[in-house]
Structure 1
Amino acid sequence: MSFRELYMHHVSPTLFGVNGDYDSARIVVMGIPFDSAATGVPGARYAPRRIREVSVELETFHPATGLDVEFANVFDAGDLPLVTCVDSLVRVVGRVVEEVYDSGKRIISLGGDHFVSYPVISTVARKTGRLGVLVFDAHMDLRDEYPFDCRYSHATVFRRLLEENSNIEVAYFRPRGWSKEEYLYAKETKRVQVLGDEAEVDDWFRRAENVYVTIDIDAVDPSFAPGTGTPEPFGLHPDTVRKIIEETFPRYSQKIRGLDIVEVNPLVDVNDVTSRLAAKLLMYALVGLLPYLG
């Protein structure tokens, strides 16, 4: 029995109602319902289920490519069991991701708080050469400890990844919530950069060897994405994120190793607009990847 079969439990509905076959699928979706590392309003553990539920209510046909995501050969592996222990999360996620990655597939993860990215990216980094991580996030998540004496939380995730993986470089797209500690660390480490526009993102993709994309929904302005635990004013317009996905994913699909979307909190959402936004961004990501993966 594989780790995927051992740990994952099937869900209904699947993301966009996909019904692909694992062996032939090039992309595998997995839910990670974990929010024990969050410091804001809890509830992100409910996001994988809610994003899937609203995804089947959305139109999934993309006229420009002729692709209907509902009928794409994407395998939804279901959700990991609900755990509250960071050590268990890291161990279980690492095993499943390694197995999926070794089978030559791309991984799309549904969080969960932003700490769920840590075991996924760590595992992918061990399997690649240089790995560039493109981060859409209101915050830097570069704290050393947050809250006090806690080294593994959603506010420390990229600090730990950079410290523990010398082959990782991190690029943020227009973050807006900095602490002085994070600012000084970013300047000191030399492996952190901030991108200010779409042209800089394209240039970053062009120079990267391998890419992982992580989307914290609080990167988007809370007027468009109220359903998140740590909202921050003056955020991105969702169309900016969509445009970057539509323009870079097809061009650089062979470099992209994985993607996640995190920090959606259905408990504080309004009419599911944040879950729907997350689902729609995932649809554009699939449209950008599927036709080019062979």
Structure 2
Amino acid sequence: MSGERFPLLRAYTQEVRPALFGRESSPESCKAIFLGVPFDSTSSGVPGQRLAPRRVREASMELETYDPTSGMDSEEASFYDAGDIPLVVDYRVLTELLGSLAREVFACGQVLAVCGGDHFVTYPVVSAAAEVYGRVQLVVFDAHLDLRDEYPVRCRYSHATVMRRLVEENYQLHIVYFRPRAFSKEEWAFASSSDRVVIVKSIEELVSSLRRGYKTYVSIDIDHVDPAYAPGVGTPEPLGEEPESLVSALKAVIERGGKDIVGIDIVEVNPLLDLGGITSALAAKLWAIIMRELNAS
């Protein structure tokens, strides 16, 4: 990797092979930078999300990536796999390291594609986006709201509090949730009382809720999808979405966001809880679709 534009990425990432879809490219010439974040220290269930970046890459090598409708192949999309950041345990260390890397990518005008890791990894990346761009809207696909003030008790920074901290600490942040289905009374009260949190149930509502003049970041917690399709998650929640529903909504957001899309993450894949690798395969398929859609936007 060239050190001229990305000195921090060169210094603090470790090459992983196979790369996503076996893609070899240069960071300077690409539209998106794919970054693995093997972190699961704030998980409240069985940890294992740290293993997801490698497993998702491995799963990507077994997928067909050509889309005859668009004529596009994910293997030819404009992205660079920067590898993984080092394994860290302390969320404060992760916040400083990942936040610095994200600011570097955003400052160069490229899309940051993050493969987590538990959902806390969204916190430093979106915080960095807000610092660089100012007005940011966060589109969330998640079974949960992650708006708790503390979880577990006396823990204010975790996968279950990440959205609460982002709203409180970034006054220009606007959050749009697509069909969440599991939340506490406290979370529902907070969401209902905030003028910067919107919950929508249809793709039409989702698209119309996106604001002009805002950069867009998309966060996908894989437990948004029903456990029948994504069993490898720490907090499975029944009655979830089918993958096709998520894909349709995701495509609509990327099409609407266009060049204002600054980042996307997929989090909470836990290979230790998976069945036959189908959750990792689903995440890899989503990355294939994302890279094609970003290339077309």
- TM-score over 0.5 for the alignment? yes
Matched, 1:123 2:128: yes
**Structural mapping, 1:81-160, within 5 Å:** 81-160=86-165
Q: What does the per-residue CA deviation read over 1:160-198, in whole Å, with 9 as the maximum and x for residues that have no partner?
A: 001100010111111111101111111222211101011
SS in 1 for 2:140: strand
- Whether the 8 Å CA contact 1:206–1:252 is kept in 2: the answer is no
* CA distance, structure 1, for counterparts of residue 24 and residue 194 of structure 2: 44
- Whether the 8 Å CA contact 2:42–2:120 is kept in 1: the answer is yes
* CA distance, structure 1, for counterparts of residue 121 and residue 201 of structure 2: 26
- Whether the 8 Å CA contact 2:203–2:252 is kept in 1: the answer is no
**Structural mapping, 1:1-294, within 5 Å:** 2-205=7-210, 207=212, 209-292=214-297
The letter for the 2-side match of 1:197 is: S
SS in 1 for 2:263: strand
SS in 2 for 1:12: coil
* CA distance, structure 2, for counterparts of residue 117 and residue 29 of structure 1: 14
- Whether the 8 Å CA contact 2:207–2:256 is kept in 1: the answer is no
SS in 2 for 1:141: coil
- 1:64 Cα offset (Å): 1.9
Structure 1 residue runs of 4 or more that deviate by more than 6 Å after TM superposition: none
- 1:208 Cα offset (Å): 6.1
TM-score w.r.t. the length of structure 2 is 0.96
* CA distance, structure 1, for counterparts of residue 68 and residue 256 of structure 2: 18
- 1:134 Cα offset (Å): 0.6
Q: How large is the Cα RMSD of the aligned pairs? A: 1.2
- 1:282 Cα offset (Å): 1.2
- 1:246 Cα offset (Å): 2.6
Task: Flag structure 1 segments of 5+ consecutive residues without an equivalent.
Answer: none
TM-score w.r.t. the length of structure 1 is 0.97
Sequence identity of aligned pairs in percent?
47
* CA distance, structure 1, for counterparts of residue 61 and residue 38 of structure 2: 19
* CA distance, structure 2, for counterparts of residue 248 and residue 168 of structure 1: 17
- 1:247 Cα offset (Å): 3.2
Q: In the superposition, relative to structure 1, how do residues 248 and 164 fare at CA in structure 2: closer, same or farther (>3 Å)?
A: closer
- 1:33 Cα offset (Å): 0.3
- 1:63 Cα offset (Å): 1.2
